[in-house]
Amino acid sequence: MAFKSGFIAIIGAPNVGKSTLLNHILGQKIAITSPKPQTTRNKIVGILNKPSCQLVFWDTPGIHLAKTPFGRRMVEIALSTLKEVDVILLVVDTSPSTGSKSEWIIKTLRNIKTPVIMAINKIDLVSKETLLPLIDYYHTIYDFEAIIPISALLKDGIDLVVDEIIKRLPEGLPYFPKDIATDQWERFLVAEIIRERIFHHVYQEVPYSTAVTIEEFKEEEKRNFISIHATIYVERDSQKGIIIGQGGKMLKVIGEEARKAIESILGARVFLGLWVRVQKDWRKDEKALRRFGY
């Protein structure tokens, strides 16, 4: 059989489980996840290597009606992938609130010739009586290549999604070496892990007001040790106090959990130093958005 390779964009509304799905497809953690919507901010590349094919996935920020420069930048990142890939994987979930958001996304697909596969996620939360009419409905509003019910959390239906994608990939050589699962550099992964821990521990608007930069990343190969210094940026002094916590307790929890996750991914002992600084209204500042990598 001829070798196949291609790019797949994973798109959808915020919080439908795109990053969880990607991690389970790859069998390892590449994209950060949290129960909060709009956790993903950049295009995350995940690479699945099989004997007869290579699938290069792009996990994208949730597509929504953005009202701020930062929100619009995230949506632009997601939509820019649609004409650059071989297959589009649209992820929706079973909640009624996602339906109208997904319909808006489907309208943007009508002028795109790229094949689109739909994955209906979180089927573990509904009955078949609810699911079957939902599948029928989506069949009536767009000519999907396939509609596959899945539960990313329970790893149910994921192999079917991969099989349907492979059917539609073109023949070609691999784009990346077969021993890597992402092209993201280590500094980016470290910053994302720190941001993930913030999303898990801090509430309301605060996690959305944070950005993370890596100021220092020093490796000592002989000792299998990495020294990392990172800065967490927030928009207001009150948010800085929340991130640090009483007596520094919150920052300590974030740092300790992030350090353990970084050690697991990088396979080395890690020192992680965290600082918190205020960059007023950075989400509205085009220069700050570029400096923070958006």
Tokens in use for 277?
A: 């600084």
Please tell me whether residues 140 and 198 are part of one structural domain. Answer: no
Tokens in use for 188?
A: 């980016």
Q: Closest Cα partner for 281 from 211, 217, 195, 202?
A: 211
Residue 225's pLDDT is: 94
Please tell me whether residues 155 and 13 are part of one structural domain. Answer: yes
Domain membership flag for residue 97: yes
Residue 128's pLDDT is: 86
Residue 242's pLDDT is: 95
Weakly modelled stretches of the chain, pLDDT under 70: 32, 34-43, 64-67, 98-99
Residue found by looking up tokens 């009508």 in the block: 110
Q: Which residues pair with 49 in a beta bridge?
A: 54
Helices and strands (H, E) in the chain, number of each type: 9, 9
CATH code for the domain of 263? 3.30.300.20
Tokens in use for 136?
A: 């029928």
If you write DSSP's letter for every residue of 97-115 in order, what string do you get?
A: HHHHHHHHHHHHHTT--S-
Domain membership flag for residue 175: no
Please tell me whether residues 34 and 146 are part of one structural domain. Answer: yes
Which structural domain range is residue 200 located in?
186-291
Give the chain's domain count. Answer: 2
How far apart, in Å, are the Cα atoms of 192 and each of 54, 64, 78, 155, 186? 25, 21, 18, 23, 10
